[in-house]
Chain A
Amino acid sequence: SQQGEEDPQALSIQEGENATMNCSYKTSINNLQWYRQNSGRGLVHLILIRSNEREKHSGRLRVTLDTSKKSSSLLITASRAADTASYFCATVDILTGGGNKLTFGTGTQLKVEL
């Protein structure tokens, strides 16, 4: 079963604007991770946030986690055309996530136009 649902499914913005993607999940988690996938490529890890953290930053990325609402958001500031990709959230379930098993959401397709 799919753990995460991402919203929106697709997002189109202009270069320089901010992009926000949301992820909801269903179970109790150890941590939540965000990945990027360029067309035809493998996934690349962006950021990991643990269940006891509320916010994390990495460069132009800001991730928030609200465990009471079982949701996370990824903010990309000052977007660039090179940010065009699909973005996935993935969770490690606190009970079944042994072996660092990830359960992925369905992804958000971001298009950044010049």
Chain B
Amino acid sequence: DAGITQSPRHKVTETGTPVTLRCHQTENHRYMYWYRQDPGHGLRLIHYSYGVKDTDKGEVSDGYSVSRSKTEDFLLTLESATSSQTSVYFCAISEWGEGPNEQFFGPGTRLTVL
């Protein structure tokens, strides 16, 4: 998976608890993304980063925050998890060289909020 790892791979938590998912890359790519995947919705962008400490919101950012203190790490935090945040979360990375490039995806984290 192109030098991208996600941790944990599976997590079960209770409503109201904080949760942090980690994405780690070894590719030194500039851009990093967090998506969630739900049946019938495909993948939807939560937040993305265009550099260290540079982040911006995606289309489904409510209830989520992110941080990127190092090039290689991008953290996704659910401050107070809700059942609607039960999903599979994917991290992706990308570079922008001479024109558009593809994104490379991590293996995903399956999160269940009870």
A positions within 8 Å CB-CB of B: 1-2, 4, 30-31, 33, 35, 40-45, 48, 50, 88, 90, 92, 99-107
Contact = CB atoms under 8 A, between A and B. Distances in A.
Contacts, number: 67
Given A43-B90, A88-B43, A106-B40, A100 B103 contact: yes
A48 B107 contact: no
A103 B106 CA distance: 17
Q: Is the interface of B mostly helix, strand, loop or mixed?
A: strand
B105 A103 contact: no
A99 B48 contact: yes
A88 B59 CA distance: 18
Contact of A33 (B48, B50, B56, B102): B102
B102 A30 contact: no
A43 B43 contact: yes
24 contacts: A2-B44, A4-B42, A31-B100, A33-B102, A35-B105, A41-B107, A41-B108, A42-B1, A42-B106, A42-B108, A43-B43, A50-B99, A50-B100, A88-B43, A90-B43, A92-B100, A100-B94, A101-B45, A102-B33, A104-B43, A105-B42, A106-B40, A106-B41, A107-B42
Contacts of A92: 100
A99 B31 contact: yes
B71 to A, nearest CB: 15
Contact of A1 (B33, B40, B48, B59): B59
Nearest to A99: B50
B84 interface: no
B104 interface: yes
